[in-house]
Each structure stands twice: as C-alpha cells, then as structure tokens.
Chain A
Amino acid sequence: MADYIAGGVPERLVPRTTEARNAGEAKVLAGRRRGPSVAFWGMAMIVASEVTLFGTFIGTYYYLRFNTPHWPPVGTPEPRVVVPLVMVGILATTSLPMQLAARAARRGGLWAARLFLLWALVIQCGYLVYEIHDYVDQLRRSVPQDNAYSSIYYTLLGADHAHVAIGILLVVWLLWKLARGLTMYRLNAVQVVAFYWHAVNLLTLVVIGVLLSATL
C-alpha cells in the first residue's frame, strides 16, 4: 500500500524528534521538522497570558492617573529617569545572546550555546541585583501604602522584577541541563526560554516606559 500522504508528507519521512539523544541527531531532526515545537506554542500561550496581565496593570496605572489631579501626588517623589533607562537598555541587550544561544543549539553547537547563555546570565543577574537594591532604596523614600500611585508603581515594578527572576532561574536550569549534552528536549527548551526572555525584555521596556511617564 502507498505511503500515507494526506498530510503532505509520507509517514516514513516524518521525523521522530524527541528521540534525538545527542547534538548531532538533534541538529538533523530539528532541520527536518516543520514549524516551531509544541513547547514553543505552549510558551507563546503563557506569554500571551502574562502580557495580558501586564496590560491590565498598565491599564490600571493610566486609569488611576487620569482620575488623579497630580501624578505623582504631591509629596511623593518622582521616579528617577536616567539610571532605570540605562539599566533596562543593558537588560534588553541580553535578547542578543539568548537568540544566539537558540541559534547555536539549533545548529548543534553545544559549547557556543552554553557560552551565550552564560553571557546573558551574567548581565541578567547584574540587572536583577541592582534593581532589587534600587527597589529597597526607593522603599525608604516612599512605600506602597502612601497612595494609589505608589501602590501601582511598586506592584507593576515588582511584578516585572519577578518575571526577570523567573527568567534567570530558567537560564540557570538550562545551563545545568546543557552540562549533560544536547538533546532535542533541551534544544526545544533553549528556544522556548529565549522566546520568554524576548517577551520579558519587551515587557520591562514597556513597564519602565510607563513608570517613567509620570515625570513627563
């Protein structure tokens, strides 16, 4: 009997992808499969949900702003502009090594993938450490209990930092996984986490932009 081709490809040519056990096999099978992995679609859904959550936070920010005569209210310090902008710019550059890591993994380059991830991780950790320090520092001048402005300011910023922290945990986990070689499962993971980081970097840019809009 003829091969089954209703789906456009004969069955025997369809790659059995998750069975790839080493970098070479993963590279070959990744080249033969069609479209992004299922894991990628799953992450896209989670990111869609998270982006909507941040959309709601940002909507709340502006809703409160347009109902308040002075923004930030009198007595509450304005957010600093230059340092957060520089920091978020530095964080945004980590999209480059994350994408390069995904690309290297896709081509079977295990060491390159590890190094790119490490490069990203160093910057991401530096960013988070500084930002936590800065968050605590700001809490000395105003607290979320002051007024609605402070409430949404700290909630939005804190939610963003939480997402950066989760991303860092994911990169650490990836490096730990890659220490034992590259498989298709880990290749999917690198691509998915890179996508997550692009989303987080974009979110951080938007969140900082929104928070700094109070100084305009």
Chain B
Amino acid sequence: MWQSRPGVLGWVMTTDHKRIGLLYFWTTLVLFGAGGAEALIIRTQLIQPNQHVVGPSTYDQLFTMHGITMIFFFIIPMTTGAFGNYLLPLMLGARDMAFPRMNALSFWIFLGSGIFIYTSLFLGIAPNAGWFDYVPLANAKFDPGHAIDFYCLGIIFNGISSSLTAANFIVTILKMRAPGMSFNRMPLFCFAFLAASWGLLFALPSLTADTIFLFLDRNVGTHFFDVAKGGSTLLWQHLFWIFGHPEVYILIVPAFGIATEIIPAFTQRRVVAFPLVAVAELLVVFIGFGVWAHHMFATGMPTVTVVFFAAATAVVVIPSTIQVFAWCMTFVTGNARFKTPLLFIAGFIFMFVAGGLTGIMFLAVPFDQQVTDTYFVIAHFHYIIFGAAVFPIFGGMYFWFPKVTGKLYFELPGQISFWLIFLGTNLLFFPMHIVGLEGMPRRNYTYPSGLGWGPENLAETIGSYITTVGIVVLLANLLVSYFRGLPAGPDPWHGATLEWTIPSPPPEYNFAVIPKVSSAYANWDYADREEDRRKLAEGVMVLEQGHEQPVSSPVDGWWAEIVEMPHDSPWPILLAVAMSIVFVLLLLHLWMGFCFALAGILLVLLGWHGEEPQEREA
C-alpha cells in the first residue's frame, strides 16, 4: 500500500481525505474562535443599556462578520469539510474521495477565501450590511468603499470551494461505495451528507449570481438593484433567500447525520424507521428549496404568495418531525448509555424542538410581521444553528476523537463541558425570545435604559460567557486527551459503521481489504468482518497495485471498474493561490493583471492535467 509524504510538504501536497479533513478542522476551529470572539464583543457591548464598548460602525462590522464567519467559515466547512471529508470514505468503505486533488483544491480555496475576507476586518473595512447584505443599504451609494466588495468576492470565492466539495461528495457517495453497498445498505450519515451536498450544489449558484450582480452594480455601474433604472431591490432578497433557506438545511442536515451515527452506537440499536429517516433527510432539503419567501413576509408581497410560502413552510415540518420521532424512539427502545456524545445529541434534540416550535410560529403571517427584525428571530435561529447544528458537531468531536487520534477523551470533563454549554446557550438565547416579543430590534448597537430589557440582556451576556467556558473545557479536554488519553483501540463504542472496523488512527489507505457490506450497520455484521480478515490473510480483495480504488454502480453498488487514484500533488495549492490572486486583483480593479492571473490559472490547470494515472509510479 501507499504512504503519505512526511513533513510539512506532505500536508501541503496531500490528497488524503483524512489529512484534508484535519486541515479543515483546524482552520474552521480558528475561524470559529474569530466568530466567537466577535459574538463575545457583541454580547459585552449589549450587557447593559447605553454601553460604549464599541461604536456603531464597528458593531456593524462585528455582527456582519459574526454571521458570515459562523455560516460560511465555520459550520459548512466544519460539517462538510472536516466531518464529511474525514468520515464519508471511511463509512463507504472507500480508500479516498472520488476526486482527491479537487478535494485538496476545495480546502486551499476555502483557506484563501477565509484569509481574503478576514483581511477586511484587520483593515477596518469589513462588510457591514449584515450577513444577508440587503440592498439598497449595500449599494455603492450608501456603502461606498471596499467593505461590500470584500463580501461579494469572498462569498463567490468561498462558494466555489463549497460547490467543488458538494460535487465531490455526491460523486463519492454515488460511485465510490464498497462493492456490495447498495443504496439501502448505506449509513444514514451518508444520506445526510448526500442531501446536504445536493442542497449546496443547487443553492449556491443563486447566491453566486446575486453577489455577481451586486459586484457589477457597485463596480461596473449596472442597474440590477436600482429601482430608478428598472432594477429591483426585492430581487436581491429573492435570490439571497433562494440560497438562504436551503442553506439552513445544509447547516443542520449534516448534524442530523452525526446524530444518526451517535444514537445507534450509544443505544446499541439500529435507528427506528431507517428508510423513513433516509427519505426524510433528503426530503427536508428538497422541500427546503420551496420556502424561501417566508423570510420576506414583511416586504409587502401579494397575499397569495405569502400564503403559499406559509403553507410550504408547514410542510417542511413533516420530514423534520419524522426524524425527531425516530431518534426519540431509538432512545426509548434502545439501551441508552449517556456518555458525552449522546448527551450532546439529547441536547441537540431538545434545542432543535425548541427552535423548531418558534420556527413554526413564523408561518403565522401577522405574528411574523410583528416580530420581524426583533430578537425573537435571533433567538429562533440561534436555537437552530447553535442548538441543532453545533451541538452535534461538539458531540461528533467527542465521538470520533478516539478514531482520529487513537486516544480516549476524559469522560467527566466531557460531561461538565456539555452541561456548561447546554445551560450557557439556554441562558444566552432563551431571554432573547422575551426581549424580542417586547420589541427589542436586532442589529442596534445599544438600547436605552427604562425599556426593561436590561436584566434579560445581562442574563444573555452571562450565558455567552458560560458557553465560552464550556467550549474551552471541551477543547482543553480534547487537547489533554490527545497527549494523556488512554489508547482507544479500533472500536471503543462498539460503533455501527465501517470506520470502526479499522485501526485508530486509520492508515493512509483506510481499508487493507475492500470490505464486504451486507447492511447499513456493517460493523455489527460479524460474519462479514470475519470474512474480511480471512480475505486479508489470503490476499483476496486487497488491490495492492498502487493507489487503487474500486468504483461501483450508483444504485446497486455493483463493481464497475478499478481505477488508479492520484497521489500527493502540488497543483491544488498552486491553483488556489492563482485564484486568490485573481480575486485580489478584481477587488483592486486591476483588470490587466486580472487577465494575466487568468492565464496563470490556465497554466496551472495544464500542469495539473499533465500527469496521467497510467504514467504514475505505483
């Protein structure tokens, strides 16, 4: 089998999905720290009435960057980039992603876009019109300078990375499954990532088009959003939310996937209603494409439109509820061991139901119009995004920590970190419901005294500090465990899926023998695992002629061919550097240099495709 190149160069040139997953993990963790620091400054600013920790213009930049960071630079790359990259091939019985070099390219583009957009914050000209960046506020007339240009280009750049990742995941899930893993034998985690990837692939172009229009409006002088010249300001909102609502499901469906792996492992029971949950994961994203205008009930759309979208929003509850019931029934009928990962999943279900219930309230149009742009909305979507998307990420960090590092984490600090985060987030976000109903508007950098909002805001700020302490405990626990933890062995939880059949940490080639799969809970099929060991001893199905990988048919999982995969390559990072240069030149309006940089991209692509698989050394 093959080995990775040692040293820093091995990481820079890597095409190993596990290394790329770890690169994503560390990068998104740093960006999570940045987004979290922004949130803490915001909360400190709001701790009592008439505070002046930061001024209004800084505050605008902070909440905008907080939103952009947490959505585009933390949750998407953490779930798809880190968890998806690391785990999908392991669960599918594959040795790598379908397009390993494109996978590396996704990461380097993501890193480039993160540096690009954070440069604006360090220059003090960060985007400042909110993460959804409504025109006309974001037009050149009301927001001159480069702030919104950073937003447009950074989002387009980041979108390229996410689109490539999504395409890579879909093809990996459809084509790289171990032969014999037909669709009904695929773990629910993979269904969730398939759903999220379809969502990304079809939702992102809408945002890309929108930001292209805004960039052209601001820099070329077109009139897409200029009402005086036949444009429309609502066009921005429509295109943004055609992306933005599927985006919500893109954020939480991978979390559903993580939950559907942790629950069977800690209840030692197959998930109740497997096919329904699989279909519900796909459906929730599909229906999620038809509900975008419920973000726009306050814009004066025709009643018939409003009612249609309210009804569609009600429909989306059904697949979500199917999953909640399936999880709860698996808990009830299984033998639940409340270790830290399962605690986070229990917390996730609680937060998701709470956030879901306030979500349903918005489809009552008069209520929605009443609470639009108040803290009630903030409370709702933080219950969903922090509670439902980030809790499983934390749970997943604990759950797969032994697989990734080969060490066990410490259980007691783990449980303490859960309770700190759980109580902290509820103290942080629940009072927002109350001040929201009392009319406190979002995005104002301070509020006057005498309106009765002081105690709730104080509680929220204290909650944010407690949450931070919990997260620090979590990370410290993992860090200490990495050095001091007990050896974990290949399967500390008696997990259900294929990643638990191989050593921890997994070798470069993942599977020494291409595994036999006859159910979605492959690690519990003892006869198959016995057969794998026998085959390894006999040298059957080891495919050791170089970097080999079987390819299967998309539905039945039948053998299609055996292909040679690319090994370490310098081209992905070079291409990402060339693309970063293109975006910087666009920002600076250096059109001539822009053309040269495009030529540079072509040259890099030529080099990339210069080497063919049959020319590589085995």
Contacts and interface: CB of A to CB of B under 8 A. Distances in A.
Given A67-B230, A183-B612, A41 B540 contact: no
A41 B558 contact: no
Contact of B564 (A15, A19, A37, A57): A19
A77 interface: no
B204 interface: yes
Interface string A36-55: 01100110011011101101
A11 B235 CA distance: 55
Nearest to A11: B541
A169 B514 CA distance: 39
B98 to A, nearest CB: 5
Contacts of A55: 205
A53 B208 contact: yes
6 contacts: A9-B558, A16-B548, A41-B174, A144-B220, A146-B223, A152-B224
Contacts of B204: 49
Interface in B23-60: none
Contacts of A20: 614
Contacts of B212: 155
Interface in B168-192: 168, 170-171, 174-176, 179-180
Q: What 10 A-B pairs have minimum CB-CB distances, sorted nearest first? A: A7-B179, A45-B167, A151-B222, A6-B180, A148-B230, A53-B205, A33-B561, A56-B209, A34-B560, A18-B613
A4 B564 contact: no
Interface in B222-246: 222-224, 226, 229-232, 235, 238-239, 242
Interface string A152-196: 100100000000000001000100000000011110000000000
A14 B101 CA distance: 25
Given A8-B559, A14-B550, A52 B205 contact: yes
B141 interface: no
B433 to A, nearest CB: 35
A68 interface: yes
B224 A38 contact: no
Contacts of A16: 545, 548, 561-564
Contacts of A183: 612, 614
B353 interface: no
Contacts of B238: 63
Contacts of A21: 614
Nearest to B513: A4
A176 to B, nearest CB: 9
B558 A8 contact: yes
A155 B560 contact: no
Interface in B203-218: 204-206, 208-210, 212-213, 216-217
- If over half of A's interface residues share one DSSP class (helix, strand or loop), that class is named, otherwise mixed; here it is helix
Interface residues of B, number: 71
Interface in B543-601: 545, 548, 550-554, 556-564
A35 B174 CA distance: 12
B230 A42 contact: no
A147 interface: yes
B330 interface: no
A148 B231 contact: yes
Nearest to B180: A6
B535 to A, nearest CB: 7
B145 interface: no
A197 interface: no
Contacts of B614: 18-21, 183-185
A45 B201 contact: yes
Nearest to A50: B205
Nearest to B197: A45
Contact of A148 (B167, B209, B226, B534): B226
B235 A60 contact: yes
Nearest to B220: A144
A64 interface: yes
A190 B157 CA distance: 29
B180 A7 contact: yes
Contacts of B171: 38, 41-42, 45
Contact of A41 (B98, B223, B518): B98
A6 B230 contact: no
Interface string B497-541: 000000000000000001011100000000000000011001011
A50 B205 CA distance: 7
A169 to B, nearest CB: 7
A207 to B, nearest CB: 14
A15 B540 contact: no
B602 interface: yes
Given A6-B517, A53-B209, 4 more contacts: A4-B540, A14-B561, A19-B564, A33-B560
Interface string A127-160: 0000000000000000011111111100100000
A68 B221 CA distance: 19
B202 interface: yes
B106 interface: no
A68 B490 CA distance: 65
Contacts of B170: 41, 45
Given A20-B614, A185-B614, A147 B230 contact: yes
Interface in A57-96: 57, 60, 63-64, 67-68, 73
Given A11-B541, A15-B562, A56-B209, A38 B175 contact: yes
B230 A17 contact: no
Nearest to B174: A41
Contacts of A60: 209, 213, 224, 235, 239
Interface string B303-338: 000000000000000000000000000000000000
Contact of B201 (A15, A34, A48): A48
